[in-house]
Amino acid sequence: MYDLIIVGAGPAGYTAALEASYRNKSVLLIEKNELGGTCLNVGCIPTKSLLKKSEDYYNARKSKDFNISINDSFYKNLMDDKSSVVEKQKKGIEYLLKKAKVNYIKGMATLVDEHCVSVDGVKYKGEFILLATGSSPLIPKIDGIENAIFSDEILSMDYSKMDDIIIIGGGFIGVEIATIFTNLEKRVIIVEAQDRLLTNMDQDVSSSVKRVLKKDGCTVLLNSKVTKIEKDGIYIDDKKIEGSTILCAIGRVSNTRDVDPLSLIEKDRGSIVVDSEFKTNIKNIYAIGDCINSYKLAHYASSLAIYSVNNMFNTITNIQIKNVPSCVYTNSEIATVGERECDDDVCIKHSLISNARCIINDENRGFIKLIFRKDGYFKGASINCSRASDMINIFVSALNNHYNIDDMLKDIYPHPSFIEGIKDSLVEVKHKFDSMYT
């Protein structure tokens, strides 16, 4: 009997396997598709590789020092580089699992009972079972949906044969894919049913992303519901919008049905129900990552892996899982954490137009938005600039440590850097507090 059986080898699954093995537990890790899950194979990593290479072309194209154009070899190199990045990371994970003596098998696992799973007819027993089965693209009930493709497919297509793309959905997947194709000078249309892009983020972030995408040639249609999809376009009510490629990117749903054919685990709208320790209704079976109803983010899933494994085996961890950063990897990155602003909050939006690193990088649209309670304690932040995803954890730490404005002003920041914009924004907050109470 294993100490722990893990179903799913994405960021949640393989991180849990490594954490348990570091604590001298015997681990069986099972994956039906590819090691690394959605994130590594058809999600985060390939998308960011394509974004990086397309942004290189975008920056060279807009520079006065270069005269470049795209040819077929560019598109081949684009995909070759993406595949190389994926394979390098996969080999890294394989090495770590082998070094940690994790037993890894490929196959479809199904729950048999509270201590047993079956893989291709072979049964395996474990003291604990951890479900980390991930998610898949949501397939909406739209007439003609079979004419659309989904995010898993778009990352491996031949872009040299694509002139345009219609993207249904203005969330982070839709916005990042739109950025890739606008960088490559394709005709791009985003169709969003709600009144703004990135509805889970700050209004200022949504407005900035829309403005930049439109500046780069993307058409953004808000308050627009797709009623029908055909091979050569979509309908919004009775109006047809033509396009040769239709991408549906309106969200993701938990993968839970195949792993639990006997319906042993309680679910809510397809996602596994867990308590605060990520236990299911069966006390020795846990669930984390995209298969539960929570943030569908790889870094959150891997944090839950460490948290839940330590709960299982009654060991101590200091990891905090409450304050979760969200990032969108457009050309000028977006990163947010914490709560939205309320009427009583002290809030500033600090422009980065005078930041030396932004000037060097020819960026003129970045900002840092900070939200504090009236008692001076930090509440939330949004960043819109290059390296935003690297900067946001300063604010995650501020939330975890319950910092106020004076605590946050103690640090020295390097110059020139994007991150010194945080110091400047905090000074602006401090001045605002001082003027309120003098």
Catalytic residues: 415
In one letter, which amino acid is 189? I
230 by Cβ neighbours in 10 Å (0-12 / 13-18 / 19+) ranks as middle
Query: Please, what's the b/e burial string for 44-58 (b: 16 or more CB within 10 A of its CB; e: otherwise)?
Result: bbbbebbbebbbebb
CA distance 316 to 333: 35
Instruction: Confirm if 166 and 189 have CB atoms less than 8 A apart.
Output: yes
Residue listed under structure tokens 């291709």: 120
Peptide bond just before 46 cis, omega within 30 deg: no
